[in-house]
Structure 1
Amino acid sequence: MSEVVFILWWLLIIEAIGLIAFPLTAYFINLPDRGYSVSKLIGLLLITYMVWLTVSLEISGFGFAVIVFALIFLAFISIRRFDSKLLSLKGTALKSELVFVASFLIFTFIVMSKPDIYGPHSEDFTDFGFMQSILRSTYFPPPDPWLAGETLSYYYFGQMVAAILTKLSGIPSNITYNLAVAMFFALTAQAAYGIGYNLTQRSFPGIVSALFVSVSGIMSGFLQLVAYLVPEAREYIRYAPLQTPDIQQWLLKFDFWNSISIIPQTFNYYPYHTFAHGCLHAYMISIPFQVMLITLGLSLFRAEKVGRWHIMLLGLSIGFFSGLNTWEYPTYLLFAYLIFIFRHRKEALRLSVQTTALSVIMYLPYFLTKDSGGFGGIELVQQRTLLFNFIEIFALFLFLILSFLFILWWQHKEDPLMYIILASVPAPLIVLSGFDFQVLPLLAVMILISAYGIIRLERYEARFVLLLVLLGSLIALLTEVFYVVDAMPWKRFNTVMKFHLQIWVLWGIASSYAIYHILNNRNRSSRLKHIGVAAWSLVVIFMVFASLVHPIASTTSWTSGTSYFSTSTSGTLDGTAYLEKTNREDYMAIQWINKNITGSEVILEAPGKAYSYSSRISSLTGLPTVIGWVSHEKMWNTNWSKIDERVRDVEIIYSTADINRAISLLKKYNVRYVYVGDIEREKYPEAGLEKFSDQEFFEPVYSDTVQIYKVK
């Protein structure tokens, strides 16, 4: 079937889910667009939850039938909430759809320029392995493809969304993997557009919100461009200019990776970078669901009373993050608490307890089957972020938010409470000045003035935006005090990377509203103020364009194939097409496995090394192997000795000439198939591999350059 048909069919399914869910979404979300911008996400959330719960409780196996049943059940509930007044929103819905469809098609084209499910620093093998394992599962939790006999201890709900759509559409998973990346980008853009529109009832702030959350990037790209174009500025900029003959080559050879390492020993991701990288990873998939939850929060913040069904949806949505990207679960519990405290104070305790309880109870099968997932505790940060580095990451948002807060301060500077707030700032700064806490003064001002505005202002839109500023600032502050201990050799790596992505979403939405607020609340009678706003607007325009350098250059560099993985394919959605060129033997064997082996039989292959072409059979088929990427399994599990034991056992199975010893170890892990490809031949002695030819114990089921043996 033509890939154009796949694209249109996928798009039609997503649109159908959004339309089916819209009446129910409108019942929960009382905003100008009645939640149309997030109806697709709420539909996906509800269908995924129903399928997951049904399969986890073993009421039904995972397949087409249970997904269709969930879709029909959603339609039955939603149609009962249909209100003919919703038809009057067709103009609003059309604008929202234009954002979604345009974003989806544009990003599909980008993904087709670099479709490979593999690449440098890529989590593709992890994510596709999860998705393939889910597709092969009968019940949940799905098997861990890299730790045979165990279930996934890492969060997998995002890949489950993609797997459900794959089953529903009937499109091959090596195609839907890339379609899902484009879809999640488009869902983010549409949801961000919607919240900008709902805050202002204007389309332009919605477009700005979509731009800030989905596309804009860190300032390191602009600084590298300055270093390249202006030789005199190089002594003031830490980036060495690329040695390219012209700007076109600069764009093609832009440093896609090192340019996001601003804070030492971290990667400073922003949403577009995760989408452009094309990995169907948890921190990327969760971005549109974050914006969805913020939209739900805006509706609750606006409401005079919170009903029990609204709390049900809130608990369901927040709990979803526990299996989608656990790092966001505490953040959005805190988000809900802040809404209750600042808007529904009398019922705050009851609502907070109910929301927390529901977010756990509704996902009990997940919590009961999940271990600590490599969580090693929380420790104090020793080396904090330099102020200049923090500004380099969030420059655009900081400028807009501080402008907003300055106007707020100026308008209320005579309020006694404002004096108390400002007087409270110096004391902690003096106390903590000896701890090299450079971002503390900035964050302290943002936290205190935004909290003041939430208390004092009357307009709910401005108060809600200040709540987003407050939440983002609190997260930034906490990441400068604590970090989560895991198996990463760089202590703050995951803490900064995961939490800064959340800050980007929160501050991106707040910044788009700041532009609207400042431009629509200026004093038109003062010519001097008018000139000031005009100058401020020029600075904003400049900074917006500067923030787009990194995303644009990253896209041209990553998709060109000149800087990374030059054997890349292009012009297709097939994420495994590259393999036919780079390793045809593995490609043909994987094709055979996917056609001839059903279920989750264990297949043996050489242990894997992270971010390399290894553990490729388990990743690309979903069949579990004894041990995959060793470092990743150590990040996901606390029992490292068990992982090391598996590595030793696999080495023995392939290397030993003692067939009885090999058989004993194969039985230990219930291995059904043994894979011998070029990696195994290069790594293990021929004498050890010859034993698999003994047909008393092994049956050759696939024989080419690659051999696959079935254990009798």
Structure 2
Amino acid sequence: MDAVAFWLAAVAIGVLALPLAAGLFRRFPDGGAGLALPLGMVIAAFAYFVLRVASIVPAGRGGWFVALLMLACVSAVSLRVNPRRGAVLRRSLPGALAALGVFTVLFFSYVWFRSHVAAIAGTEQPMDFLYLNAMLASPSYPPHDPWFAGEAASYYYFGYLHIALLTAVADVPASTGYNLGLAFTFASAGTAVASIAFALARWALPRRSMGFPLSGAVLALVLLLAAGSLSAPLEWAAAQEHYNEPVFRTFGVDWMIPCDAADAATGNDNCYSGAVNPRTTEWYPTEFWFWWRGTRIIPDTITEFPFFSFLLGDLHPHVMALPLVLLAVALAAATWRGRGLASLASHRQPESLLLLAVVFGGLAFMNAWDVISFFALLAAAALLRNVRARPFRLALLHTATWSAPVAALAVVFYLPWYATFSSQADGIFPYIGKGTIPAHAFLQFGTLLSAIAAVAGWALRRHSRGAAWDALALALWFPLVPLLAWIVYAMARGELDDAVAARSNFGWVTLAAYGIVAWLLASLAVTQARTRDPVVIVAGLGAVAVLLLYGTELFYVGDVFRGFIPRQNTVFKLSYQAWAILAVAGPVAIVVACSRLRTRPLASFAAAPGLVLAAAALVYPLLALPNRTDAFDTTTHIDGLAFLAESSPDEYALVRWIDANVPGGAVVIEATGRQYRLGDDRVPVFDPAGPSIDYGESGRVSARTGRQTPIGWPGHEVQWRGSDAIGGEIARRQDLVDHLYLSDVPGDVVDGMRALNASYIVVGRIERERYPVSMDPVFESALQLVFESGNTRVYRVPVYATVNTS
């Protein structure tokens, strides 16, 4: 029933937002119904954030319903002021019902999958659970950071606020809301991408049958949520011991070939060193998480894609942002489709201005990497609309006056978040390295690029030779400006010679290929810029997506990884954006080209590369799903802590007791994660060879309850707070907490807890493993035992009250 309650909460928010969606997307065939969910969520979450920051509503379930009431009021006012929207809603009723059907099928399908792997454990899932719990538990906003007691969260946590909203309204435990939040994100993104692709194809083919737009919508949904790396067929062949070494080496996946004696003698680690006989016992690879390698094809980078994200189950900002990213794409398409100038005068009726500011401000709040790319996409769409009516320079001026108020309000609306946010980014730098080889680029992005590139070349041929050459000349700046900027910047830093020397020949080929495809797409947009042909927006989307890939070959954003894997996060975040955009543009390009080509052979030729590679990309989920779920032969449940109830009932009881009895703002001390051992003199000493702190079980109580602890994962705190200078404070907190557990002086324990502003201290399995001393007698003499289950205990600092006896 938890899943049904969560689904009902999501559907209710979508229904409440329908009038607003109808205003923004009235030209969409479904009247924006497929986009009402992310629109409603961002408005309601923003309303709740403002209410909490302004201390208008307290913590608790009631505040979430006040936010929904505000969404309902805004929609009602919008419908009353714009009565014609009722006609849009009536016209688009079939589309709304279709959107509801798509969302429902996707939601419950993902719930079924996740019920086989529901545990919130491993990778960075404890961190994600931490922020979800913080949204629900924090007594004041901005919310606290449970892993750094006394400080506000310094992260883009708006996505967690979205999931917390649904969790609270549906009245389900956070450990269930986590998994249902993944299902919501999956279904909402799928519904949105289908809505956009259908709209673009329908605009392009108004007189054709519904078959073409429907095909585009289905293909877009598949490419976004089901397609994977083209390395999967090679993984299958390797698991079945079918090693064609020339083929593997051609694709640059030598590491799938088992190491031999020669590799051992030369120290070559670019080979498979795991267990070989057998690598699989089934028709699919049974090696543990073989599918992880599909996101590490390009060395020293992460090339994650949506199917992998939902397979893994990390509730990260870039994943939760998918519906909002697609909403931004839809807003760009709707802006381009609009009539008249997009200028300052357009904002005289402020509804669209305010909604755009809430959406794009929320995009920064949800995943800061996304806002620049997608705001630039929105501005480009406005410019393409304006050049239909004005000369380019005047169109550019109008676009600037239209965009500036949106950008300004997007910042103003979310100032309370900016005040507590500290970025780890320290600038943009020229990339110096080998670059991506074409084979790796093909394995990761070939499916998405093949359709859009082939169609761009075909579409340009439809125009006269003079018009095509003029467009190519005019659009040359699109790939050339970033390249020249890279050259000038590297030269200014004295690094140009090193940068040119470091890039391999194949690296230059990939760079050139990305640049040429981006150039072709930009040229296609230029040729049709003064028309309302939807090929313009499709080509524009494709050009921006390929430009993102092109940019990762030239620049990177400096962060904590800059010294050893500098472009890891840049490739990760920008290629993820490119995947989402191309999942819209590619399918639409294919169906439009097939429809407009006059002969079946030509249509087949245009569609074949994209469709064949799309089929090949489905091998990845076909192999990965049974591997991830043990062929779906597992006990099913949707509570992410059910595994804890089975494996460690005392820890589970501890979490539930804290949830029910400890105030949301309390500080609860738990093990820092440092390992101690008894020295030769039987005195505990720090063991540097102990287990890792980050990604381990330290901070487990705070992650599972949202209560604050003095220090959780220190490496992540350094990333979030953007400075190594915080290392001293982290060390101080670790020392204080360790001293509490190791002390044999009751007074020191009480003083230490008060110094940390802590009321509770946990003694469980982890604490007993990390600190090899008998701590209970000391705690019992100084503190009050308030919880006990097996060998797990919680102590509280005694509370003394002054009683007037006179």
Q: Same fold (TM over 0.5)?
A: yes
Question: What is the aligned partner in structure 2 of residue 259 from structure 1?
Answer: 294
Q: Distance in 1 between matches of 2:476 and 2:696?
A: 55
Is the contact between residue 301 and residue 460 of structure 1 (CA under 8 Å) also seen in structure 2? Answer: no
Displacement of 1:386 in angstroms is: 2.1
Q: 2:740 aligns with which of 653, 659, 673?
A: 653
Q: Distance in 2 between matches of 1:286 and 1:65?
A: 26
1:615 partnered with 2:705? no
Question: What is the aligned partner in structure 1 of residue 669 from structure 2?
Answer: 604
Question: What is the aligned partner in structure 1 of residue 690 from structure 2?
Answer: none
Higher relative contact order (Cα pairs below 8 Å, separated by 6+ residues): 1
Displacement of 1:48 in angstroms is: 0.6
Question: What is the aligned partner in structure 2 of residue 371 from structure 1?
Answer: 422
SS at match of 2:752: helix
Displacement of 1:339 in angstroms is: 1.8
1:349 partnered with 2:400? yes
Deviations 1:515-538 (A, max 9, x none): 1122012133xxxxx434324544
Residue 538 to residue 334, structure 1, CA distance change in 2 (3 Å): closer
Q: 1:549 aligns with which of 619, 640, 652?
A: 619
Displacement of 1:485 in angstroms is: 2.4
Q: Distance in 2 between matches of 1:154 and 1:569?
A: 35
Is the contact between residue 475 and residue 499 of structure 1 (CA under 8 Å) also seen in structure 2? Answer: yes
Question: What is the aligned partner in structure 2 of residue 461 from structure 1?
Answer: 534
Which structure has the larger Rg?
2
1:587 partnered with 2:656? no
SS at match of 2:322: helix
Q: Distance in 2 between matches of 1:552 and 1:311?
A: 44
Q: CA RMSD in A?
A: 2.4
Question: What is the aligned partner in structure 2 of residue 316 from structure 1?
Answer: 358
Question: What is the aligned partner in structure 2 of residue 565 from structure 1?
Answer: none
Residue 592 to residue 569, structure 1, CA distance change in 2 (3 Å): farther
Is the contact between residue 31 and residue 95 of structure 2 (CA under 8 Å) also seen in structure 1? Answer: no
Is the contact between residue 197 and residue 588 of structure 2 (CA under 8 Å) also seen in structure 1? Answer: yes
Question: What is the aligned partner in structure 1 of residue 391 from structure 2?
Answer: none
Displacement of 1:152 in angstroms is: 0.4
Question: What is the aligned partner in structure 1 of residue 5 from structure 2?
Answer: 9
Question: What is the aligned partner in structure 1 of residue 382 from structure 2?
Answer: 340
Q: 1:674 aligns with which of 757, 761, 764?
A: 761
Is the contact between residue 216 and residue 272 of structure 1 (CA under 8 Å) also seen in structure 2? Answer: yes
The share of aligned pairs that are identical, in percent, is 25
Is the contact between residue 603 and residue 675 of structure 1 (CA under 8 Å) also seen in structure 2? Answer: yes
Question: What is the aligned partner in structure 1 of residue 390 from structure 2?
Answer: none
Q: Distance in 1 between matches of 2:502 and 2:400?
A: 35
Number of matched pairs: 693
Q: Distance in 1 between matches of 2:99 and 2:379?
A: 30
Question: What is the aligned partner in structure 1 of residue 133 from structure 2?
Answer: 132
SS at match of 1:217: coil
Displacement of 1:356 in angstroms is: 1.2
The 5 A counterparts of 1:627-666 are 627-637=711-721, 638=723, 639-666=726-753
SS at match of 1:70: helix
Is the contact between residue 145 and residue 619 of structure 1 (CA under 8 Å) also seen in structure 2? Answer: yes
Q: 1:577 aligns with which of 642, 653, 656?
A: 642
Deviates more, 1:234-243 or 1:183-192: 234-243
1:37 partnered with 2:34? yes
Displacement of 1:303 in angstroms is: 0.5
Q: 2:783 aligns with which of 698, 704, 707?
A: 698
Q: 2:551 aligns with which of 437, 460, 478?
A: 478
1:171 partnered with 2:172? yes
TM-score scaled by structure 1?
A: 0.92
1:23 partnered with 2:19? yes
TM-score scaled by structure 2?
A: 0.82
Runs (5+) with no aligned partner, structure 1: 525-529, 563-567
Displacement of 1:460 in angstroms is: 3.8
Question: What is the aligned partner in structure 2 of residue 282 from structure 1?
Answer: 317
Is the contact between residue 137 and residue 599 of structure 1 (CA under 8 Å) also seen in structure 2? Answer: yes
Displacement of 1:21 in angstroms is: 1.0
Displacement of 1:656 in angstroms is: 2.6
Is the contact between residue 149 and residue 669 of structure 1 (CA under 8 Å) also seen in structure 2? Answer: no
Q: 1:445 aligns with which of 504, 516, 521?
A: 516
The 5 A counterparts of 1:112-511 are 112-119=115-122, 122-201=123-202, 202-228=213-239, 231=242, 233-237=244-248, 238=253, 239-240=256-257, 243-244=278-279, 247-250=282-285, 255-305=290-340, 306=342, 307-308=346-347, 309-344=351-386, 345=395, 346-372=397-423, 374-383=424-433, 384-412=435-463, 413-415=465-467, 416-418=469-471, 420=473, 436=503, 437-438=507-508, 439-457=510-528, 458-488=531-561, 490-511=565-586
Displacement of 1:685 in angstroms is: 3.1
SS at match of 1:700: strand
Displacement of 1:256 in angstroms is: 2.5
Question: What is the aligned partner in structure 2 of residue 707 from structure 1?
Answer: 793
Q: Distance in 2 between matches of 1:676 and 1:497?
A: 39
Displacement of 1:377 in angstroms is: 3.1
Residue 253 to residue 537, structure 1, CA distance change in 2 (3 Å): farther
Is the contact between residue 47 and residue 70 of structure 2 (CA under 8 Å) also seen in structure 1? Answer: no
Q: Distance in 2 between matches of 1:139 and 1:24?
A: 30
Residue 252 to residue 515, structure 1, CA distance change in 2 (3 Å): farther
Is the contact between residue 239 and residue 280 of structure 2 (CA under 8 Å) also seen in structure 1? Answer: no
Question: What is the aligned partner in structure 2 of residue 69 from structure 1?
Answer: 66
Displacement of 1:385 in angstroms is: 2.1
Displacement of 1:569 in angstroms is: 6.4
Q: Distance in 1 between matches of 2:614 and 2:286?
A: 19
Displacement of 1:481 in angstroms is: 2.1
Question: What is the aligned partner in structure 1 of residue 708 from structure 2?
Answer: 624
Q: Distance in 2 between matches of 1:411 and 1:42?
A: 38
Q: Distance in 2 between matches of 1:140 and 1:512?
A: 43
Is the contact between residue 188 and residue 287 of structure 1 (CA under 8 Å) also seen in structure 2? Answer: yes
Residue 476 to residue 419, structure 1, CA distance change in 2 (3 Å): closer
Displacement of 1:624 in angstroms is: 0.7
Deviates more, 1:287-296 or 1:481-490: 481-490
Residue 559 to residue 684, structure 1, CA distance change in 2 (3 Å): same
Displacement of 1:247 in angstroms is: 4.7
Displacement of 1:423 in angstroms is: 7.8
The 5 A counterparts of 1:521-560 are 521-524=596-599, 530-560=600-630
Is the contact between residue 6 and residue 167 of structure 2 (CA under 8 Å) also seen in structure 1? Answer: no
Displacement of 1:675 in angstroms is: 0.6
Runs (5+) with no aligned partner, structure 2: 80-84, 203-212, 259-275, 387-394, 488-498, 674-692, 799-806
Deviates more, 1:182-191 or 1:212-221: 212-221
SS at match of 2:787: strand
Displacement of 1:205 in angstroms is: 0.9
Displacement of 1:350 in angstroms is: 0.5
Is the contact between residue 515 and residue 547 of structure 2 (CA under 8 Å) also seen in structure 1? Answer: no
Amino acid at match of 2:428: I
Amino acid at match of 1:454: A
Q: Distance in 2 between matches of 1:414 and 1:84?
A: 45
Deviations 1:577-619 (A, max 9, x none): 1012222221111121112112221011112422223311111
Amino acid at match of 2:719: M
Q: Distance in 2 between matches of 1:16 and 1:658?
A: 57
Is the contact between residue 24 and residue 79 of structure 1 (CA under 8 Å) also seen in structure 2? Answer: no
Residue 353 to residue 408, structure 1, CA distance change in 2 (3 Å): same
Residue 24 to residue 259, structure 1, CA distance change in 2 (3 Å): closer
Q: Distance in 1 between matches of 2:476 and 2:239?
A: 45
Q: Distance in 2 between matches of 1:409 and 1:598?
A: 65
Q: Distance in 2 between matches of 1:440 and 1:236?
A: 23
Residue 53 to residue 569, structure 1, CA distance change in 2 (3 Å): farther
SS at match of 1:231: coil
Amino acid at match of 2:519: L
